[in-house]
Structure 1
Amino acid sequence: MTGPPWLYGRPTAAELVASVADFLDNEVRAATDGSVSFHARVAANVLRTVERELTDASAAEAVGALTELGFPDEAHLAAAIRAGALDAREPEVLTTLRAVVRHRLAVAHPGYDPAD
């Protein structure tokens, strides 16, 4: 998205994605069976993941942890660990890694929290 969400009005991208996911889950799956029904379910699940990414407010924690450690993104952190510049067992590195993984899980697998 190139502008703030309010710029585009309603429905938002997340609302449109949610509507299509609901259509696939409710209408298409009810009217089909076999592989078409299965693929409609898979497509709806993909759209729900996209919806969670579009509405996610928890990314700030992961971004903040990376920034605090001095990295612009996860790829740079991973490269530093691979190069031996950082020890992944250090407490501040572990905290950052946990924040990044927790954020990814919140989007990819909502309701799952390894800390629970």
Structure 2
Amino acid sequence: MAQDRPTAGELLAAIADFLREEAIPALDRTDPRLGFQTRVAVNSLAILEREARLGPAADAREHERLTKLLGRDGTLTELNRELARQLRAGERDERDATLMAHLEATTADKIAIANPKWR
């Protein structure tokens, strides 16, 4: 239903904007604890918006890297389980440049969703 407007991302952004611009200032004056909790909720909404916008492409990149790294196809969950199994078994380690590049790229994608200001 990508043609429907507003999109899920637009709705999440609108809710976050309302809370940030109108609700939080009012709450800070009347109930600072609730203002803080609302900031946490706004941050969570921002993560959800970035997940909806950036997550599918990040998952596709991760899937492609894992398929090449492991030499087999499967779901993202299956491939990650196999990689974890190989790591636990000592079949792969930090000397594997392809593994390290995959882990760095996956971590960068996750950080871009969770906290893009981190870098």
Query: TM (normalized to structure 1)?
Result: 0.81
Aligned ranges 1:31-42 → 2 under 5 Å: 31-33=26-28, 34-42=32-40
Task: Please list every run of at least 4 consecutive aligned residues from structure 1 whose deviation after the TM superposition is greater than 4 angstroms.
Answer: none
Aligned to 2:13: 18
Identity %: 37
Structure 2 alignment gaps of length 5 or more: none
Whole-Å Cα distance in 1 between the matches of residues 115 and 67 of structure 2? 25
Count of residue pairs brought into register by the alignment:
108
Whole-Å Cα distance in 1 between the matches of residues 93 and 18 of structure 2? 47
Aligned to 2:62: 62
Larger Rg: 2
Task: State the AA in 2 paired with 1:85.
Answer: E
Structure 1 alignment gaps of length 5 or more: none
The answer to whether the Cα contact below 8 Å between 1:21 and 1:48 also exists between their aligned partners in 2 is yes
Query: TM (normalized to structure 2)?
Result: 0.79
Aligned ranges 1:1-116 → 2 under 5 Å: 5-6=2-3, 9-33=4-28, 34-56=32-54, 58-59=57-58, 60-70=60-70, 72-73=75-76, 74-113=80-119
Please report how far the alpha carbon of residue 79 of structure 1 lies from its aligned counterpart in structure 2 after TM superposition: 2.5
CA RMSD of aligned residues (A): 1.9
Please report how far the alpha carbon of residue 13 of structure 1 lies from its aligned counterpart in structure 2 after TM superposition: 0.7
The answer to whether the Cα contact below 8 Å between 1:65 and 1:95 also exists between their aligned partners in 2 is no
Please report how far the alpha carbon of residue 83 of structure 1 lies from its aligned counterpart in structure 2 after TM superposition: 1.9
Higher helix share: 2
The answer to whether the Cα contact below 8 Å between 1:81 and 1:88 also exists between their aligned partners in 2 is no
Larger relative contact order (Cα-Cα within 8 Å, sequence gap ≥ 6): 2
